[in-house]
Amino acid sequence: MRRLAASLFILLMACDFSVFAQRRTGPIYRPPSGTGGSRTTRIPRPIPPPRFDPRTRQPIPTRPPVIRRTPSTSTGRVAGGPSSKVTIPPSSSPQVAVAKTQAKATLDQLRTSLRARLRSSTALSSGNVRSPKKPPTGGGGGGRKPPSGGGNNEEPPDRGNGLKNASQGFKEIFDNRSLRNQSIINIRDTLTRNGFKQTITNNRKGYLFKNELGEEIRIMNRGGGWDIRVRNRYGNNLDEFGNVAPPSKTHNIPVRSQ
């Protein structure tokens, strides 16, 4: 019985329990016999090879993995062996920032090309290929536009054809496209600010704004309401959009007294 117990003890002492440790942490380096006794050392995890940008074929800068030396445990199993631990870099790191920038650029390119395709297909299907419209300027006629360059007589397509060579103030009252229901106060402000002189009309039933170029705007009081008549320097009466028009279109353009 004693013999049996002694042999069992010897057998247990000879068993290697390091197999269980290998499952949890990694392979175990065994020094060759006769060099270090029974001590084992953990092999550090391999550092991943550098990644390359597929477009530029330049290596993506990476931070070296953070290696934290774990203190020796009381068990003494890994004492002296370098234990490595690769941590995920935080979102604010340059590596993540580069990746984000690249992804954003790719997404923007895709968006742009998709929009262009969509626009061309829409224009072709409707048979109306137009240049993009100008963004609307501020309302109320208060937004001042930069003065047009001298000698450039070309008007944007959305401008009335009666505004060719017109003065800045004359054009500015058409900034909201139509004169219909515009405020008299705003029109007056725009015109007087741009050098128009205000007087009373010949029939004393309205206000006349005139400048030295011969441009003429009349705001007439008829039947309890106000309407506007606009005449450019060539003597053409204009419609509410600034186009040279027949008499029916140049009359009865109401404006607001407030």
Partner 1 sequence: MKSANAYGIIEQLSKYHHFEECIIEEISWLNFGIAIEVRLNYIWQANGTLRQNLDEPEIVILRFNLVQEFHMINALNAAKCESPELINWGVNEIASVKYIENSEYIKKYKNLPVSFHHISFLWERGSNQKLDVVFSELEIETLK
Instruction: Please say which residue, 166 or 173, places its beta carbon nearer to partner 1.
Output: 166
Least distance (Å) from partner 1 to the CB of residue 159?
A: 16
Chosen residue from 93, 112, 178, 252 binding partner 1 by CB under 8 A: 252
DSSP 8-state assignment for residue 87:
P
Q: Under a CB-based contact definition with an 8 Å cutoff, are residues 28 and 20 in contact?
A: no
Question: How many angstroms separate the CA atoms of 134 and 232, rounded?
Answer: 24
Judged by CB under 8 A, the stretch of 27-35, 87-95, 118-126, 221-229 that binds partner 1 is 221-229
Q: Does 248 bind partner 1 (CB under 8 A)?
A: yes
Q: Which stretch binds partner 1 (CB under 8 A): 40-48, 84-92, 173-181, 211-219?
A: 211-219
Please pick, from the candidates 13, 149, 235, 258, the single residue that binds partner 1 as defined by CB under 8 A: 235
User: For partner 1, which is the closer residue by CB, 141 or 215?
Assistant: 215
DSSP notation for 156-203 = PTTS-GGGTT--HHHHHTTTTS--TT-BHHHHHHHHHHTTPEEEE-TT
Tokens at 79, concatenated: 């004492």
Residue 206: CB minimum distance to partner 1, A? 10
Whole-number Å distance between alpha carbons of 258 and 170: 20
Binding of partner 1 by 234 (CB under 8 A): yes
Beta-strand pair 28-29/237-238: unpaired
- In the list 194, 218, 242, 253, the residue contacting partner 1 (rule: CB under 8 A) is 218
| CA triple 175-177-181, angle to 5 deg | 100
Q: Which residues bind partner 1 (CB under 8 A)?
A: 165, 197, 199-203, 208, 210, 213-214, 216, 218, 222-223, 229, 231, 233-237, 244, 246-248, 250-252
